[in-house]
Structure 1
């Protein structure tokens, strides 16, 4: 067996609608088909792949924030760095841009409404 790529990330949230909007508006993912699970949620797609699975929970938006997350970040590979950075600026999103010359990579780091750290990687040698 050999792992080739990440299939999806599953995130639990008390802000389901806010999170859906953020992943659609900021990352450009689209809501799509999801099995009829007995709990609320959404699957967010890039093309035909549901990369982000959201699970809706009851509680205040800050529930769980007192617990240190074990997942530091997850990442996507993408094209269109300039357009993405402009979208972030227009929306007033907090982000950090890192240039990793040794890897021919620019990583733009963003945080969703629940504070999950995501970086979007753009190749610089294409």
Structure 2
């Protein structure tokens, strides 16, 4: 087989309010906002290392309520991070709750304002 997967280019997350989501992703997590092409709906693109997160402000076909409290038991996007302790402090200072990974790894799970789960894994 000659085709190889090289990495994840981006993950798209549905959000209800782009400005509210940017307050979380840009202002709390510190992700840079990237240039976004002119699309027929609101949203934002954010840089994550060599990849991206695309925020799509569109009607959500999935239930937002009734999700598992721990994001590790739900679909989620996992991101490698440096400075996990600093990120935990920023989350605490802004009132954003998180749960530790139950695997024993240096990782936490957090949900964005729309209930999308993120796993933040400390780089070793």
- TM exceeding 0.5: yes
Asked if 1:55 is matched to 2:59, the reply is no
DSSP-derived class of the 1:87 partner: helix
Shift of 1:32: 1.7
4+ runs of 1 displaced by more than 6 Å?
Answer: none
* TM-score of the superposed pair, with normalisation by structure 2: 0.78
For residue 10 of structure 1, give the secondary structure of its aligned residue in structure 2.
strand
What stretches of structure 2 of length at least 5 have no aligned partner?
68-73
**Contact 1:99 1:106 (8 Å CA) reproduced:** no
41, 44, 48: which one aligns with 1:42: 44
Match for residue 119 of structure 1?
A: 119
Offset of 1:6 from its aligned partner?
A: 1.4
Contact 2:8 2:51 in 1 (8 A): no
1:16 is displaced (CA, Å) by 1.4
The structure with more strand, counted as a fraction of residues: 1
> How much does 1:37 deviate?
1.4
RMSD: 2.5
Is the contact made by 1:95 and 1:111 (CA closer than 8 Å) also made in structure 2? Answer: yes
Q: 1:65 & 1:100 partners in 2: Cα distance?
A: 25
SS in 2 for 1:12: strand
Structure-1 residue corresponding to 2:21: 19
- The gaps in structure 1 that reach 5 residues or longer are none
> What TM-score, normalized by structure 1, do the two folds share?
0.77
Deviation at 1:35, TM superposition (A): 0.8
